[in-house]
Amino acid sequence: MLKISCFNCQWSWSLNQEATQAALDSLGEGENYYATECPKCRRLNKIPIKQLKRALPRARDKK
């Protein structure tokens, strides 16, 4: 689960694992962040790709 805090109003909300994966999948090549709107004030918040990737579980190596 990824917890996000709005830079404008400091409202906090979360993205579950499926929403985080969908956000990563929607990014095009060369994009450095995912833009999402605050549910309270509707301001755009940028979430770095590194932060999205850290919120997902690591893939286990198959041997």
In this predicted structure, what is the pLDDT of residue 36?
A: 95
Q: Which pairs count as long-range contacts for 30-38, CB under 8 Å and 24+ apart, including other chains?
A: 36/4, 38/6, 38/8, 38/9, 38/11, 38/13
Can you tell me the distance from the alpha carbon of 40 to that of 48, in angstroms, rounded to the nearest whole number? 21
Give the model's pLDDT for residue 31.
92
Q: How confident is the model at residue 62 (pLDDT cuts 50, 70, 90)?
A: low
Which helix (H) or strand (E) covers residue 13, if one does? strand 12-15
The one-letter amino acid at 24? L
Over the stretch 3-46, which tens digit does the pLDDT of each residue have? 999 999 999 999 999 999 999 999 988 999 999 999 999 999 99
Q: pLDDT category, 58, cuts 50, 70, 90?
A: confident
